[in-house]
Amino acid sequence: MITKRTGWWIFFNIFLGAQFIGLIFETIRDSYSWLYAVIAALLIVGVNMYIYSEGKEKLK
C-alpha cells in the first residue's frame, strides 16, 4: 500500500539515485565529484534507515 510518505520516499530515492548516477559519470571528468557521490549515497542510506525505523515503530 502506497501512502503519502512512501510516495515521497520513492520520489526521493529516484531523485537522489539519478543525482548519484550523474555524479558517477561526472567523476570521470571531475576529481572532486567522488566526494559528492559519497555524500549522496550516505543521504540515501540515512533517509532510508530513518523511514524504515519510523515505520517499524508504527507497526508495534
Question: What would the pLDDT profile of 17-57 be if each residue is shown by its tens digit?
Answer: 777 777 777 766 666 666 777 787 888 888 888 877 877 77
Instruction: Please compute the mean of the pLDDT values over residues 7-23 and round it to a whole number.
Output: 77
The pLDDT score that the predictor gives to residue 55 is 72
C-alpha cell at 4: 503519502
The pLDDT score that the predictor gives to residue 32 is 65
The pLDDT score that the predictor gives to residue 31 is 64
Model pTM score? 0.43
The pLDDT score that the predictor gives to residue 33 is 63
Q: How far is 41 from 59, CA to CA, in rounded Å?
A: 27
